[in-house]
Structure 1
Amino acid sequence: MRFLVMAITLLALLLGGSSAALAQKTKTKSTTEQSQTTNLDPNDPEDLDEIVAEADAAYFADNGGDPDYAYAFEMYSLAANAGDAYSMNRLALMYDRGEHVDQDFYEAFDWYMKAAEAGLPAAMSNVASMYRLGEGVGQDYDAAMEWFRKAADNDYSYALYAIGELYLGGHGVAKDATEAAAWYQRAADAGEPNGQWALALRYLYGDGVAMDSRKAGDLAYLALVNGLDIALDELKEIGSAETSPNFRRRIQELLKSDGFYNGTIDGSFGPQTMRAVEAAFGSEL
């Protein structure tokens, strides 16, 4: 008997994200445009802003072309070495992902740590994730919890979810489903899709909270419309999962109320419901 996935790896944070470390887009700079930045001084605040903007434009490919990772790396390096925490984190991500440079978790961890110590909440969470996974540094759940708490104290919503994951798995703390659910609730209240999905599973199976299939449906639907990949994947495979008919009907009700579905509210996830699920994904209603 198959159960829905009970947790989402914290590696998702490191791979990109929204509540997770600055979502990837795409852009390419022309040689002429690039040459205009060669005289910028990263120690001048206005020039520093322009350098960071140039780096983002190259990395995120806003013009619809291909990303120019080489130019982005050059500009992020200039800004990072001038003390810009955002650019330190971006540079770390490029080492983490192996973009333009060979993948190097140790170099990534060093830059994440510099950005975290400079006060960037996303970098604090990334440092915590590296400790959690043992990438670029020895695995250390206590250090992971410490840095996740620092990020959470700075209103970084993904960290609230990640702390819940540590409690759910008993990593560095006593395993406590009730405490995990409380942190997932905080994350969900802050609009974190990972927290919404994790809390949906708690309500669906009565783990750490009283079973409530309607609340589970509400939260799962929020995660879906907020674009959480695992919510889409799991709802598309719901036919082979042990889920309450009331949960499935609630999803259909929400799909119908938002105009994605016009079929019968029967809890049967046939082709029409599946098309509605895909249409609702990432709609951010």
Structure 2
Amino acid sequence: MKTALPAIATLLGCALLAQPAPAQISLSPPAPIPAAPQNRPAQPRPAPAKPAAKPLAPPKPKPDASKPKPGAATAKKPGDKPAEPAPPPEPIDESRVDLVFGAYQRGHYKTAFDLATRRAEDYSDPKAMTMLGELYSAGLGVKRDYPKAAEWYQRAAELGDREAMFALAMLRLSGRGGPANREDAARWLASSAKLGNPKAAYNLALLYLDGQTFPQDTRRAAELLRLAADAGNPEAQYALATFYKEGTGVEKNVEQAVRLLQAAALAGNIDAEVEYAIALYNGTGTPKNEAAAVALLRKAARQNNPIAQNRLARVLVTGNGPPEDRLEGLKWHVISKTAGKGDLMLDEALAQLNAEDRAKVDGAARKWLGAK
């Protein structure tokens, strides 16, 4: 199995260029609309009924004029102050109504752009500014314009929005929207990480690993990865697992590595799924569970991970764990081989097939590759 440090080295070339996920931009919840008081007009008190001229029964007592009837308004007396009119309902604070993100989520990007522009101009809302940066950066609802995206991200970042700081750092690293500036990017990443942004902490850790912006410092990288991993970032969990597995920047701890691999695998990190499956299959740092291991390998193989396809092929061809299924296993071998993951042992098994079975394997592999 390939060690994880090369995998991290690969991340240095691509993860730093990742755009921030739009879903990370959160706007404030809508403010509750206060109910307006009801101003009911006074109701006139009906006059008391006159008694009959020749009553056949004792007349009913006259109502006491000093006591108003239930539901009737008290008559105004001379000198009484006029009733104050009810206050008008408070206007809705549009700076707190989450209309922008709602439009964005529904794919109404032009509406989101117009609403965000109004909020940015009228309320200096940093979240709206970040949304404008995202729309310009992705070309949603407006023509893609990296310089304008950088401008809006800059304004929001200076107002303390951690997502804007991260997005601006990514633009500075990639040289989009202006000249590449790793020092400026590192500064914004550090500010965003300090505010608890796990993506910023993860990417800042990669800068400490590559040794270009900062002197290489695996211990500091491990600290930043731990911050991001504790916040649930699966990429950081996987990277930190490799640190514990190999003793890089931290004391070697296989059990801790497997726990992190499990967390990252549950979050859908494919590389972690493969590593965790291998640990389960071998019983390394965790109780042995071949069935769960094969299920994870199959899941990762179906997501076109060549290593998972190769390991699944070996398990199925040898029958060590699940029931032997040579044709299915060799199908995955052919598929993984097209991605550059060769295997001499499986090549020999493939060569031993008769013509009919070889045709079945090749047909199944072509069907899979054509369906990708």
TM-score strictly above 0.5? yes
2:195 & 2:370 partners in 1: Cα distance?
40
Structure 1 alignment gaps of length 5 or more: 254-262
Q: CA deviation at 1:14?
A: 7.0
1:67 & 1:246 partners in 2: Cα distance?
51
Matched, 1:243 2:314: yes
Of the structure 1 ranges 86-95 and 206-215, higher mean CA displacement relative to structure 2 is found in 206-215
Of the structure 1 ranges 129-138 and 8-17, higher mean CA displacement relative to structure 2 is found in 8-17
Alpha-carbon spacing, 1:244–1:134, altered in 2? closer, same or farther (3 Å): same
Alpha-carbon spacing, 1:191–1:179, altered in 2? closer, same or farther (3 Å): same
Q: CA RMSD in A?
A: 4.2
1:60 & 1:250 partners in 2: Cα distance?
47
Identity %: 24
2:318 & 2:124 partners in 1: Cα distance?
56
Matched, 1:55 2:133: yes
Report which structure shows greater RCO (CA 8 Å, sep ≥6): 1
Deviations 1:45-97 (A, max 9, x none): 2xx3332222111222346x984322211221121122110010011111222
TM superposition score normalised by structure 1: 0.69
1:12 & 1:201 partners in 2: Cα distance?
22
CA contact (8 A) 1:217 1:247 kept: no
2:365 corresponds to which residue? 273
Which consecutive segments of 4 or more residues in structure 1 shift more than 6 A? 247-251
Alpha-carbon spacing, 1:103–1:247, altered in 2? closer, same or farther (3 Å): farther
Residue number among 200, 224, 227 corresponding to 1:147 in the alignment: 224
2:344 corresponds to which residue? none
2:129 & 2:328 partners in 1: Cα distance?
55
Aligned pairs (5 A) from 1:120-269: 120-203=197-280, 207-209=284-286, 214-223=291-300, 231-234=304-307, 238=310, 243-245=314-316, 266-269=328-331
Aligned pairs (5 A) from 1:94-133: 94-133=171-210
Alignment length (residue pairs): 252
Q: CA deviation at 1:233?
A: 4.1
Q: CA deviation at 1:112?
A: 0.6
Larger-Rg structure: 2
2:161 corresponds to which residue? 84
1:121 & 1:43 partners in 2: Cα distance?
28
1:87 & 1:205 partners in 2: Cα distance?
44
CA contact (8 A) 2:317 2:326 kept: no
Q: CA deviation at 1:206?
A: 5.7
Matched, 1:44 2:124: yes
CA contact (8 A) 1:6 1:198 kept: no
1:220 & 1:66 partners in 2: Cα distance?
42
SS of equivalent to 1:95: helix
Alpha-carbon spacing, 1:130–1:147, altered in 2? closer, same or farther (3 Å): same
Aligned letter for 1:133?
A: D
Alpha-carbon spacing, 1:142–1:277, altered in 2? closer, same or farther (3 Å): farther
Q: CA deviation at 1:211?
A: 6.2
Q: CA deviation at 1:125?
A: 1.7
Of the structure 1 ranges 114-123 and 125-134, higher mean CA displacement relative to structure 2 is found in 125-134
2:268 & 2:318 partners in 1: Cα distance?
21
SS of equivalent to 2:8: coil
